[in-house]
Structure 1
Amino acid sequence: MMEKRPLVWLSAEQSGSPKQDTVLPEWQLMPLTIRGDLNPGELAGYNAWVGVFDLGNISGEQLALASSWLEALPVEQWIAILEPDQTDNPEVCRLINRYCGDYHTLPIQPERLRVALGHLWGMAELQARIFHSQPLSYRDFALEGDSPAITQTRELLSRFANTEEPVLLYGESGTGKEAAATFIHNHSSRKRKPLVVVNCAALPVSLTQNELFGHEKGAFTHALCTHKGRIETADGGTLLLAGVDELKPEQQSAILRFLQEGQIERIGGVDPIKVNVRLIATSTSPLEQLVASGQFRSDVFYRLGSLFVLLPPLRERKEDIPILATRILNAAPASVVPKRLSDIATICLAEHPWPGNLRELQNRLRQAMLLGQTALIEPHDMGFGQIPANSHSSGQELSLDAFRSQADRRAISVSLALAQNNISAAARLLNISRVSLYRLMEKHHVIHRTPAPPSKRD
């Protein structure tokens, strides 16, 4: 017998809908009632690919709470069920448009509802397969870690996700600016709408208006049909202008009206089209400096938003490197022999300045996984030309035992530095117990400097 598929049924009725058991006997129903005391943690167990949003007998108070419940539930696709006259309610229409992939009016047609639910289930399953089949990119883990720098960044991104204001993301190449933009979109009320990315550096000047605004049928030769531009495609969702500092002055002028009025005109069109998008822009260069030098229009800059985030470079969050490296190594394809870092390789990762940031870290570890001859990754496997110069004393004869001792001392010292001399944290970085770390420190004569207590104020 086929296992029943889970289905969340969110309704206004205390005991769930009486329609459930008779209409959908092949689904494992999980009834929920909209109420004022929303507890997101309690809803974690209601994890299903599809759900039914039953608006029958819903009160005005419950309707006002519905958005919060639909946001909190881990459901990929919703179908709404409502009375025919409820389609005249603007708030009901807004909820269905934002959260639901389909809607049915009462009385329910059981076969039609089953087909619709099966279709949405299949689409959600297909999306899950695509997601899990994609190779890991550094953007998938760019915001992971426990360092103060990335923790503060995540908190700031979470706050900005709850607004509709434009956000400007600064950061060096490879710091995860697109990951931050995706984080904002996925934690906003627009997460069920598209996130459309415009690569400004690859946008030809001559094609800017066509790419961004689209064209009408017959607007020019070979315009055989109406074409929506990137901005119109993002309607209801988020538009990401990636590398906005790469826009030429004439391209900046082209998008100014859209930034000012939220309207576009297709090429060959006569009527302006209102678009509702959340704007996020990324930049490698400080736009204030480009404005001062005349390379960037000040009116465009000011309309990109007053909210900005500076993504920290990897050299400012080195305590996250063990977490990030483990994430990359664990995501290796099944055809690759599992590998781990040697002690000296870990030291190299901690001491490297990382000019390429997360992208460089991923590339070096991928190289090591593919080219390394053993299950232990050494510095040369990652493309590091030599052991750091201060790994051993000049003129000292380097036996295998001496090399291991030097490596142990360096690993202990680096771990203590990364953990700010916290013994427990340093032991976790080395994946050993506190007792073992104390013994190694005594063996290799590593001095532990106890962190100074916070000063007391009178």
Structure 2
Amino acid sequence: MNKFQHKVDIIYRDILILDLTSERICCGEELKQFHWRCFHANTLSAAIKSLQKYNFHVAIALISATQLQRVLHTINALNEAQDNLIWVAISVDSTLDNDQLASCLPRYFTDYHHLPIDWEHFNQTLGHAYGMARLKQQSPPPVNHLHHENPLLGNSGLINTLRSNIAKVAKVDEAVLISGETGTGKGLCAHLIHSQSKRSNGPFITINCGALPASLIHSELFGHEKGAFTGADKQYIGHIERANNGTLFLDEIGDLSLESQVNLLQFLEEHIIERLGGSKTITINCRIIFASHINLETAIEEGRFREDLYYRINILHLHAPSLRDHKADITLLAKEYLHQYSPTHQPYALIPQAMAAMLEYEWPGNVRELKNRIHRAIIMAESENLSETDLGIKVPKYPSDGSDIVNLAQHRVEIDTELLLDAIKRNDHNISAAARELKISRTTFYRLIKKCKIKL
């Protein structure tokens, strides 16, 4: 080394590779050139030991159709061991193109790649995931400023009625069906029912029926014994059994397959389960709360939902209203989320034009969309005074003379198009990440793209 040369210390970023397949894909040497240091784990215990020893922000999972269920169970366990770990998948076979199997991937992974791997492209994916994970870890957790016993925000008549009805149904121990569009707070309603009930000291277990394919949902609900199927290397306790003496929240019940609906109906009648591959019955004492964003009566007419199950679960019915139906609460909601997400040393505020745009906007994503738009605006805005541009809100303008009739269907398409394009742009055209941000499946995202005639 001469006097004009300087030694440069290369900083490597640690990454966990979960490999439960038999492929043994070698990522270490390929990723080393991009300054990644790989740590392989082929068991849950080995992965947990690595998490305890190293500071991982990103993890890779090798997935295949035969081992998918085992991999997802392992990832669930690892996510409980470490928060803010972002997962990227490598599919080692082509059978994951099956819609049912692929539909659960956005729930676990920010992106996934097929063999053979384009390593430069893959490195870009990992770099983006690494940056997002660092951002999540550096951001202070939002402080909940809501009153502990009354976290359902709003003073409108609809919200006051919903709050009153929640208190009523919490006092009894019957099944509850919560209807409402995506983002209206059905999960919050379920939490409130549980917390105000006599089961409040018991577990509150949640499963999204729309996030898992039919091949996985039975095992997730009822559990399985070791050796029940290929890859079942240990006993798995299902969500129903975990909810014993507590509450089970089944979200998006309308997406449950007809076969699973039969099994669920049998449990509701007998309160007995049998793990897959098991031979003994287990008595379960839990309350079940159901939620659906689709009209179940329409689903019955279309043959997608069992009529007998509908009448069994529709004992107590609550409806979470759309935000456009209680716009009087928007100001209160906006102030609360500004308070939650603003740094303590730098409070943010909405300029009058921004608030006016929020009151005029139709909010197809409801309260969840309002919350996310404010959060993103605080992160990305150049000023502490947030504008409608910072929020990404564009309110369609129609003639004021009444000469044209507003086409509501076209209005909704325009709103969906705006949401989709904004999500695609924010995520650098990563469809999996965009779908994950909007909390919809990749399949639904592509369906909306087709509906809105968006060219990628």
- SS for the counterpart of 1:240 is strand
Q: Deviations over 1:332-359 (max 9, x none)?
A: 2527832111111111111111111111
Q: Which secondary structure state, in structure 2, belongs to the residue aligned with residue 188 of structure 1?
A: coil
Question: Structure 1 residue 328 and structure 2 residue 346: aligned?
Answer: no
Determine the structure 2 residue equivalent to 1:258: 267
Other-structure match for 1:37 = none
Is 1:196–1:234's contact at 8 Å kept on the other side of the alignment?
Answer: yes
The TM-score normalised by the length of structure 1 is 0.53
| Deviation readout 1:114-152 (Å, 9 max, x if unpaired) | xxxxxxxxxxxxxxxxxx964479999972111111000
Distance 1:357 1:190, change over 3 A: same
Counterparts of 2:143 and 2:183, CA distance in 1? 15
134 and 304 in structure 1: CA distance in 2 versus 1, 3 angstrom threshold: farther
- Over 3 Å counting, the alpha-carbon distance change for 1:385 and 1:210 in structure 2 is closer
- The count of corresponding residues between Structure 1 and Structure 2 is 261
Partner of 1:143: 152
Q: 1:208 to 1:201 in 2, by over 3 A?
A: same
Contact 2:342 2:378 in 1 (8 A): no
Deviations 1:87-133 (A, max 9, x none): xxxxxxxxxxxxxxxxxxxxxxxxxxxxxxxxxxxxxxxxxxxxx96
Alignment partner for residue 160 of structure 1, among 169, 193, 196?
Answer: 169
Looking at structure 2, the residues matched to 142 and 347 of structure 1 have their Cα atoms a distance apart, in angstroms, of 25
Check 1:137–1:247 CA distance in 2 against 1; reply closer, same or farther (3 A cut).
farther
Confirm or deny that 1:293 pairs with 2:294.
Answer: no
Letter in 1 for 2:197: S
Distance 1:390 1:321 in 2: 25
Which structure has the larger Rg?
A: 1
Find the partner of 1:306 among 309, 315, 318: 315
Q: CA contact under 8 A between 1:379 and 1:387: conserved in structure 2? A: no
Q: 2:374 aligns with which of 348, 353, 365?
A: 365
- Aligned runs of 1:53-452 on 2, under 5 Å? 134-135=141-142, 143-334=152-343, 337-385=346-394
Within 2, Cα distance between the matches of 1:138 and 1:257?
A: 42
User: Which residue of 2 is the match for residue 441 of structure 1?
Assistant: none
Query: How many angstroms does 1:386 deviate by?
Result: 6.8
- Please state how far the C-alpha of 1:249 moved relative to its aligned partner: 1.2
- How far has the Cα of 1:262 moved from its partner? 0.7
Q: Measure the CA separation in 2 of the matches of 1:330 and 1:314.
A: 20
Secondary structure of the residue aligned to 1:231 is helix
Task: Note the C-alpha offset of 1:204.
Answer: 2.0
Root-mean-square deviation (Å)? 2.8
Alpha-carbon distance between aligned partners in 2 of 1:207 and 1:182, rounded to the nearest angstrom: 25
Q: 1:433 — aligned with what?
A: none
Task: Give the whole-Å Cα distance in 2 for the aligned partners of 1:341 and 1:361.
Answer: 13
- Greater RCO (CA < 8 Å, at least 6 residues apart): 2
Equivalent position amino acid for 1:255 in 2: L
State the Cα distance separating 1:186 from its structure 2 match: 0.6
The DSSP-based 3-state class of the residue aligned with 1:285 is: coil
Contact 2:144 2:340 in 1 (8 A): no
Distance 1:378 1:218 in 2: 58
Tell me the SS of whatever aligns to 1:215: coil
CA contact (8 A) 2:342 2:348 kept: no
Structure 1: tracts of 5 or more residues without a match? 1-131, 392-458
Q: For 1:18-57, what aligned pairs fall within 5 Å after superposition?
A: none
Name 2:72's counterpart in structure 1: none
Do the aligned partners of 1:138 and 1:359 also contact (CA within 8 Å) in 2?
A: no
In structure 2, what residue type is equivalent to 1:210? Answer: S
CA contact (8 A) 2:176 2:314 kept: yes
Contact 1:147 1:320 in 2 (8 A): yes
